[in-house]
Structure 1
Amino acid sequence: MTFNTPDCPPVGNRFGQEQCPGSFQRWLKKYRFGLLALLLFTSMGLYPVSVKAEGICPDQLGEAIAPIVHDPQFRRAHWGILVQTLEPHLSPTTLYAYDAEQYFTPASNVKLLTTAAVLTRLEPQFQILTSVYHLTTQSGQQVLRIVGRGDPSLTEIELRQLVQQIAAQGISRIDLLLLDNQYFQGDPINSTWEWEDIQAGYGAAATSLMLNQNAIGLTLVPQALGEPLQVIWDQPTVGQSWQIANRTRTVRVDEAEALQVGRSFDQPILQIDGQLRVGSASEPVTISIPQPVPYFAEQFQRVLEEEGIRVIQVEMATGALPTDSTEVAAIASPLLAELLIETNQQSNNLYAEALLRILGKTQPVSGRS
């Protein structure tokens, strides 16, 4: 989308100096994403609309926005619009306001602001590093410490690559494995989530050490008439640690289908209720891991042992990383630009929460993320 900047009358101190179109052109470049996102995406999820961005002056914003706000297809929508300048070292100037002080439930539209802030503060080439350090000990024990920095993209594939780097160092035994989950501070579960949210995969906790998005998938498969649905885990080894109360059944083709899947708050106990029709398609389900850091520890130790590295003891790390530690392995996330695609196009809550906390960690307020 391109903007054609017209010849506008001077706007005085609105942009800090009397320049137009130059100043407004810079403003358009700076704000065309935010302006269009906030004007259009907030209410356009339910209504497709075609908008052509023409060149306008600041004083013409109201005239340009009004036809969109008052379009009949948005008669059930609620709008709140505030357009301000963000010139460095200057107080913001309001260019347009429409019910700007009304309260709204923004939902996933907030991801647009979150990712814009992250992209502004961090470089598109920014990557999240998960590192393993060798700690020097007087006893001569082999002590390794894995430090998580909130990479939401880490899967077993990357975890195995990390372990293979450790093995390449000639390490075949770890006397003490320390898990450092201290990068993010505060509650890993968003306080605004409801109980049904945090059970689902989309509501997984954001921890410093994450694996497979702190969630596990399963598939419910109809069987013969009257029989319970079959539960197939995406990761059978992980599924073995879960208890399942399967209260489902396979019903006739003329009966209604309904499913309800829930889990215990802090234990791997799964309750499945409902029914699917005989011969109907399977139903994929994703649930959040109730204890994601112990889950990470179990999977990390399993992969280590599969690669021939014996682990004697596992503990949680406390305190700062010793300055004489040596990095022996590291795995980097995809570039920030790629993480943002997953965040926005797939509306990935965990990615957005992790990036927000990373932003807080790199731009700290009172030392908290």
Structure 2
Amino acid sequence: MMRSLCLVALVAGCMPETSTPNAARHVAPAVVCTSTGSGASATGGDINLSETVVTRSTPVMGMVTATVTLQNAHPTEPLEIQAFTQTGSNAWSMTASTPCDVLPCTIAPMGMILLTFNFAPMAIGELDGLMTIGSCDPDEGAAVIMLEGTGLGTTLGLSTPVNPPVSFGSGPIGTALTPQTFTVYNMPATQPLGVSIMVTNTTAPPTFTVNMAGATIPTNGTQDIVVTCTPRIAGTVTGTFIVTGMATFGDPVQFQVECTGTSGTLSVVPSTIALGDARIDNGGFRVVETVLLNTNGPPLTIAAGHPVEQPAIPHIALTPAMPQSIVMGPGSSFNVSFDPGTVEGPVSTMINLSAGSEMVSIPFSANVVRAVLDAPANVNFGSLCVGKPLPPPQELRIKSTGTATIHMAQRPELEM
């Protein structure tokens, strides 16, 4: 790694193995140093840096600065600067104060300039560089400043690519299908990433559920998320899997998911309820038919109570309440009760039965009739004398004045 190869001051040409040279900054054509000598009293100036290692960190797409003082520490000789050469990450840039904003330049004895370094990362992680300063210092020749930078941020991504929509397959309504696990990561990253997790739904209760509403993904770590589909209706339902956490890169992760609910066919016995004549007898509701519901496939879900929709006819009652589902085989049954009340004439309606996405209709009809027997209150034969002939017979008429047909079970009897 760069941060362990070169230490404080490096001779010209010492370069980290992993560095990639960039274009030199303010590089002038090669010049010949005008000063010669050696040792502490040699002519040619004496280069001195306030810092030989600059360390900075900032969020990606941000910027932070650092200032290094370059001094000519020689009391009598000027220092000639030939070149500033930067290598390594291009997240670093440098500007020099006058007179070294143009090279070559000369720094007077005991004079100084300021080197301003800007670190503006566009990527996450270590972004190191090296600034080599070529001078006419007879002792050092070149001085080196190590640039250690870290771009801060997080990266959200999906470990295993998917080809949306991701299908969970099909299964009976109300039965959970095989869950699927999706793994998201936070890498490269310099810090943990908090995320929120959800799957959009268009049904209630929800078709898609996740095993967590949020999580914190470790730095350069992963998080498994389990999604389950429980079909609520027949047919294909889609949703959107979404993970979001305001990551520096890759936010949000989202894709479409789908699953299909299957149901059986609803059957009903009998298919028609036709009562014919129904007499008004003030006896209240009485059971006139038992209806059996069944299915030839997966259970059919009933939301609540009876799966019945019917016009507002107060003379029909359905008992008892239905279970939550109709299961193939035994099925489910309920009674249809009818009270003619005081309404005469034809009565008809449709009893609509629904379960799951299936619906059947049973026609219901009855003819409400009233039975009224009309007969004389009494018959007067006059006086009867013992031993005398009977008076002539009298005709007694009994008739029905209602809407019902009256069937006589036996002959009328005469009470004296």
TM-score bucket of the superposed structures, by smaller chain = under 0.3
Give the structure, 1 or 2, with the largest relative contact order (CA under 8 Å, sep 6 or more): 1
TM-score, length basis structure 1: 0.17
Larger Rg: 2
TM-score, length basis structure 2: 0.16
